[in-house]
Amino acid sequence: MRLQALSMIALLLGCTAGEDQDGAARGTERGGEPAFDGAVLDRLVPGLIEAQGVAGIGIAVVENGNLVWQGYYGEQAPGTPVTEKTAFNVASVAKVLTAETMLSLHEAGEIDLDEPISPYVSHPDLSQDERYELLTPRMLLAHRGGLLNWAYRYEDGKLAFDHDPGTKTSYSGAGIELVARYAEAKTGKPLARLAREEVLEPLGIEDISLGVVPDWAKGRMSVPMTAEGEWTTIAATNPGLAAGDANSAADDLVVTVPAFAKLIAALSEKSSALSTDWEVRTLVRGSLDSDPVYRCASFDWLRCPDSYGHSAGWHSFSWDDHAVLSHSGSDLGENAFVYVSPDTGRGAVIFVNGANGWPAMTRIIEAIGDEPLLADYYRGLVEERMGLPMPPLGETAR
């Protein structure tokens, strides 16, 4: 979950998107009630694509277990439009699937989130440090393992404890990979099989792949776009994924919008097919109050969350009695954001093939309209951390 550096482009983000433009939007009826009205997104998103210099965007809106609307805009590749069949690399959103797999395994008694991983998993860089024996899956899922994000963040290219486990919050994809290795050792099954058995098959989710571009995605993959608005390639931006040896527990999840929307929809209705432990999802164990990127911005108009930070694989927010779970993903030329509220039963999926995805995703959260406090939080981050003006959307844009 990282805000990538964005090029400064001329943009009046507070304006409307102007005249209606073509977008492949689709709504459905539910229970005799009108479906989510995506007209605001049909007006807004084409303008965001042009202004931000991203290639394409796919969106799904869910409510109480149902996919109530989906829309697709722009191109997955030069001359090829984004559709419901487009496969996106959603980067760190992979952590959500890994976390939900671990929660289900824990509830079934096949793993224990609170036991040390050291008897099951050794690591060439870490095992000789006595602090390695302190690491547990719960600690690592909440990014409290004392590790930096990846080995490349260290001068010598080797993982090491930046601080004692359990004392500070430090976002770490490497820590999530350790959780997956523990579960694989404990169960004797690879992560892809565990995810399939615990989450994907019970929910009927297809068109999803961990860390590899599968055959079904050939010709359907979204092509990354640089911050300068230039097409690039997966091989250039993500050689691990192109080669099929990516970090599949923490990064490089290949999935379509409707496929991931099934998971968010199941969470929106608290499906019994998933773990029933909601406290583990909502309880903040790693606060972001002092995080250099994700601490709440300092604007008078902004109501900061009462609590926010990392839970078990999620980014958890709360305002009074209202809770929201979210996760983002950012790799070179690609961005993604998903969220769901356990108390309102609403959520959304937003996938972008383009480096300048954060302002667009923030505007889309705002335009969907079911999480105004979450939208304000991210508007504050984009404005204060990126230096891009983000006044509220005008009523004509809605």
CB 169 within 8 A of CB 144: yes
Q: Is residue 371 part of a domain?
A: yes
CB 350 within 8 A of CB 374: no
Output the average pLDDT for the chain. Answer: 92
> For the residues 11-32, what does the mean pLDDT come to?
38
> For the residues 66-71, what does the mean pLDDT come to?
97
The label of the residue with tokens 């671990």 reads 102
CATH at 56: 3.40.710.10
CB 275 within 8 A of CB 103: yes
Q: Is residue 166 part of a domain?
A: no
Q: Is residue 181 part of a domain?
A: no
pLDDT above 70: residue 4: no
User: pLDDT value at position 1?
Assistant: 43
- List all residues 6 or more positions away from 34 whose beta carbon is below 8 Å from its beta carbon: none
Token pair in block for residue 51: 């202004």
> What does the DSSP assignment read for 33-99?
BPPP-THHHHHHHHHHHHHHT--EEEEEEEETTEEEEEEEEEEEETTEE--TT-EEE-GGGHHHHHH
DSSP structure class, residue 231: B
Token pair in block for residue 306: 């009462």
State the residue range of the domain holding 307.
24-93+209-397
Residues 395 and 391: their CA atoms lie apart, in Å, by 12
User: pLDDT value at position 24?
Assistant: 46
> For the residues 325-347, what does the mean pLDDT come to?
98
Specify the range with the lowest mean pLDDT, choosing from 28-32, 149-153, 187-191, 325-329: 28-32
Between residues 36 and 370, the one the model is more confident about: 370
User: pLDDT value at position 395?
Assistant: 52
Q: Report pLDDT digits (tens) over 116-149.
A: 999 999 999 999 999 999 999 999 999 999 999 9
Max Cα-Cα span within the chain = 62
Q: How many domains does the chain have?
A: 1
CA 383 centroid distance within chain:
20
Q: Which pLDDT band holds residue 396 (cuts at 50, 70, 90)?
A: very low
User: pLDDT value at position 246?
Assistant: 81
pLDDT above 60: residue 374: yes
Q: Is residue 57 part of a domain?
A: yes
Q: Is residue 141 part of a domain?
A: no
Q: Is residue 80 part of a domain?
A: yes
Q: Is residue 226 part of a domain?
A: yes
User: What is the separation, in whole angstroms, between the first and last Cα of the chain?
Assistant: 28
CB 187 within 8 A of CB 102: no
User: pLDDT value at position 397?
Assistant: 58
Q: Is residue 353 part of a domain?
A: yes
| Side chain identity at residue 250, one-letter code | A
User: pLDDT value at position 245?
Assistant: 82
Compute φ and ψ for 90, nearest 5 degrees: -100, 15
- List all residues 6 or more positions away from 79 whose beta carbon is below 8 Å from its beta carbon: none
